[in-house]
Amino acid sequence: MRCGLILAERDRDRLRISVVDDGRGMDESRVGRGFGLFSLRQRLESFGGSLTVAPRSPGACIVLTLPLPNQALATDHAGDEPLRS
C-alpha cells in the first residue's frame, strides 16, 4: 500500500509545507541534480524561502518554507486596501 501526507503549518512569520510519502524513494547522490527540485528551490529562495529534501527508505520528505508578509503589508478582509499598523 502506498501512502502520502501533506501537512501545512503556519506560525507568526512563516508557512511550512511538508510532503511525505512511502514511495520508492530517491537516490541521495542524485537529489538536486535534476531541473524540477532545482527550479523549485530557486523560486522559493527568490521569496526568502527554502526547500529541504530528505530521502527516506522508503519514500522521501520534502519541506517548503516561505516567509509570510509583514502584517503592515497585509490586506483587509475585503482585499481592497492595505492595512496600516
Report yes or no on whether pTM surpasses 0.75: no
Domain count, the chain: 1
Looking at the domain assignment, is residue 85 inside a domain? no
Looking at the domain assignment, is residue 47 inside a domain? yes
Q: Quote the domain boundaries for residue 19.
A: 4-73
Looking at residue 29, its amino acid is: S
Sequence-ordered alpha helix ranges (H) in 1-85: 35-46
Q: CA 69, CA 12: separation in Å to the nearest integer?
A: 10
More confident call, 12 vs 82: 12
Looking at the domain assignment, is residue 82 inside a domain? no
Q: Which residue has the cell 490586506?
A: 75
Q: Model confidence over 19-65: pLDDT tens digits?
A: 998 887 776 666 666 788 889 989 999 999 999 988 777 888 899 99
